[in-house]
Structures are given as C-alpha cells and as structure tokens.
Amino acid sequence: MSRAAPARSPLLPDVPATVAQSAVEWWLQLQDAPASAALQMQWQAWYAADPQHAQAWQRIEAVQQRLQGLNSPQTPPLLAAARAALVPRRRAGRRRAVQALVLLVFGGGAVWQMQANTPWRSWVADVRTAHGERRRLTLDDGTQLVLHSGSALDLAYSITERRLVLRGGEVHVTSASDRQQPARPLVVQTMAGEMRPLGTRFTVRTADDGRSLVAVYEGAVQLQPRLAPAQTQVLPAGRQAWLDASQVLTPTPADEDHTAWIDGMLVARGLRLDAVLQALQPASSATLICHPAVAGLQVSGTYPLDDVPRAMVSLGALLQLEVHTLRRWWGGQEIAIAPVGVL
C-alpha cells in the first residue's frame, strides 16, 4: 500500500516573486482604504484570477497568525509593517518597505527570527518617530534623549547595564549617572558597534550602509566596532568619527550647528545644496531631489525642519532655481529643485 505524499505546509507555498509582490501591494492598498467597495471588488477579481493568487493571500494570513505573539494585540505585526510602508510616502522608502514585507511574508520558516538589522526591528521598536516628528524622553535614570525624525530606538535596561539600541535614524543623548549600586554602564548600540559615554552629551546617527556617525559635544565616548572589539577608541569632546563594524575612522571636528535639529532648525554654513537636501530629508515625507547641475551650489542660512516645502521654496528663491512638486501613482510625493526650465 503506497503512502500518501505529505501535505505542503501552508507556511511554505511555492509562490513566484511577482505574485508575492502583487499580493503584498494588494494587502497594503486594502489596509490603506479598508472601506472602499470598489477596491474590494478589484481585489476579489485578482484573488479569483489565479490559484497562485489565493495561495499567496493565504500565506499572508498564515504568517499574520504566526507573528501575533511578537507584538501587542492592539497592533498586529503585519499591520505595524503596513503602517511603516504607508506612512512614509517616499518612493524609495515605500519600495524598500514593500520588498521587506515580501521577505517577511514569503521568506520561509525563519521569518519571525529576523536579524537585528532588518526594517522589521525598526517597525516594532520601543520608541519611533515619523517624518517631521521629534521626540524628547527622560529615562528613569535621568538620561535625556531626543530622537530625530524617522528614528527607532529600543530600551534594554537590566540589572547589569543600561542599553539603548538605535535601530535607525539619529538620537541625541545627555547621559546621567546611574543611581543604582553598583552603577550600571550606559551603552548605545547600532549595527556598527557600541558607544559607551563617559559622562557626556553626544549624538549617534546611522547610515544606510550600516555605519554610524558619533559626534561628542561634552565629555567623551568610547567607540567599539562590532567585529573588532579590540579596536576600541575614546572620542573626546569636539570630535566626531564614523564607526563601522570593523574600525573607527579618522576623527574630524564636530559641528555644534548640527544639533540645531533638536530645536527644529537646520543651520547651513557654506554647505553644498545636495547636502542641505540630505539633511532636510529625515523631516520630509516627500522625496527631495537635487538636479546634478546644481548639487554643488553653496548654501548658507537657517531653514525650518517642521516645514520642509517652505524650506525648499526658500532655497529656490535664494539660488534662483525652480522647485517642482510631483505626485506619484501610489500617493507618494517628490519635491525637486533644478535650474530654471530644466524640469
């Protein structure tokens, strides 16, 4: 008597990449407009058009159930991920979020054991800020934090240490002495490594390539690369340095003007125009685009982070350039600055 073939697990369907992405796109649209009858009818037609569409949708539902235990019942994990994809309406940010969701849903049995450097960790971090939002916190030990726009931070205090895990973005830290005895060390952790403040005020900013920029304004900070813990270096006040997983790069002078973002301002003193847009980007839900022909123009002045479109108009007037706002099919927005008549 032959033995029946084992049933395929609903968590491991053979779904083509194009179908998987299509399913995630449909799911995001339904999360964005759940009451739309027309959208529901269009989704039903897509669902019924191909058995693989139904299989992909069942995968989304199955993974949602498996992940329920990773987050609070008020915010199911996939819904938290959907919000992360829908709120920042930038083209590149949304594309990365969709790709991460495809990996999350269709990436196999280890999907709920994702590594610390994936976008998922930022979506469920203890403290998050949206584009254009800054947040001030005073922790139980008296340490003061300011989170820049688009940042995510986990708080991991224990009986032996006070650990802040910066998942993305930028944080300004004013450290406080621990009131517990023995005193617990304060540690800031990123993908690049660890920073141990020595009675200090400093900022840590993460980059897309995994590096972290540490700038010290008071006291000192000990930097330790993740893959080379013996390469520890103490960074004194007035200096900043990039840290990657294997080394601390050569320190340079720290610019106190950079901390103006804490008060909602950007201070530029002879900065390139493309660098100014890069500094404005975390505070903007729109993608900021600088035409290559004007990227190197020098900019000085003070610009509001709470009104990036107004800042872009001011830059256009100052440099005699045109500023155009474009809307994309998914609802995303782009603001481009370029020579007159180019766009």
The confidence score (pLDDT) of residue 66 equals 55
pLDDT band of 340, cuts 50, 70, 90? very high
Q: Any residues with CB less than 8 A from the CB of 209 and at least 6 apart, and which? A: none
- pLDDT digits over 286-312, tens only? 889 999 999 999 999 999 999 999 999
Assign 181 to helix, strand or coil: coil
- pLDDT digits over 44-76, tens only? 889 888 888 888 888 777 666 555 444 443 344
Mean pLDDT, residues 175-186: 91
Hey, do 127-256 and 264-338 end up sharing a CATH topology, with the first three levels equal? no
Q: Are 235 and 281 in contact (CB under 8 A)?
A: no
pLDDT band of 97, cuts 50, 70, 90? low
Check whether 82 has a pLDDT greater than 60.
no
Distance between CA atoms of residues 24 and 60, nearest Å: 8
What angle in degrees, to the nearest 10, is found between the helix axes of 17-32 and 37-49?
160
Amino acid at 70: L
Mean pLDDT, residues 254-276: 94
Q: Are strands 212-218 and 239-243 parallel, antiparallel or unpaired?
A: antiparallel
Classified by CATH at the fold level, domain 127-256 comes out as Jelly Rolls (2.60.120)
Q: Choose between 294 and 39: higher pLDDT.
A: 294
Nearest to 239 by CA among 276, 202, 267: 202
CA distance readout (Å), 27 to 16, 39, 72 = 17, 11, 21
Distance between CA atoms of residues 215 and 254, nearest Å: 6
Q: Could you list the beta-strand ranges (E) of the chain.
A: 127-128, 135-138, 144-147, 152-157, 162-168, 170-174, 186-189, 193-197, 201-206, 212-218, 220-225, 233-236, 239-243, 252-253, 265-272, 287-290, 298-304, 322-327, 333-338
Q: Any residues with CB less than 8 A from the CB of 342 and at least 6 apart, and which? A: 291, 293, 322
Mean pLDDT, residues 83-105: 57
Look over the chain and give the mean of its residue pLDDT values, rounded to a whole number. Answer: 81
Check whether 203 has a pLDDT greater than 70.
yes
pLDDT band of 330, cuts 50, 70, 90? low
Check whether 274 has a pLDDT greater than 90.
yes
Mean pLDDT, residues 181-209: 92
Q: Are 312 and 286 in contact (CB under 8 A)?
A: no
Check whether 212 has a pLDDT greater than 90.
yes
Mean pLDDT, residues 219-246: 95
CA distance readout (Å), 111 to 78, 95, 102, 125 = 12, 19, 10, 17
CA distance readout (Å), 26 to 4, 42, 79, 85 = 35, 9, 13, 13
Distance between CA atoms of residues 45 and 287, nearest Å: 33
Tokens encoding 71: 């987050």
Mean pLDDT, residues 250-279: 94
Check whether 261 has a pLDDT greater than 70.
yes
Check whether 9 has a pLDDT greater than 60.
no
The confidence score (pLDDT) of residue 211 equals 92
CB atoms within 10 A of CB 109: 10
Assign 173 to helix, strand or coil: strand
Q: Are 334 and 328 in contact (CB under 8 A)?
A: yes
Mean pLDDT, residues 254-262: 93
Distance between CA atoms of residues 151 and 175, nearest Å: 19
The confidence score (pLDDT) of residue 79 equals 53
The confidence score (pLDDT) of residue 170 equals 95
Distance between CA atoms of residues 297 and 277, nearest Å: 12
Classified by CATH at the fold level, domain 264-338 comes out as Phage tail protein beta-alpha-beta fold (3.55.50)
- pLDDT digits over 120-134, tens only? 455 556 888 888 889
pTM for the structure as a whole: 0.66
Dihedral, CA atoms, 177, 182, 187, 193, nearest 10 degrees? 150
Distance between CA atoms of residues 94 and 330, nearest Å: 9
Terminal-to-terminal C-alpha distance of the chain: 73
Q: Choose between 127 and 332: higher pLDDT.
A: 127
Taking the domains of the chain in order of start, what are their residue ranges? 17-123, 127-256, 264-338
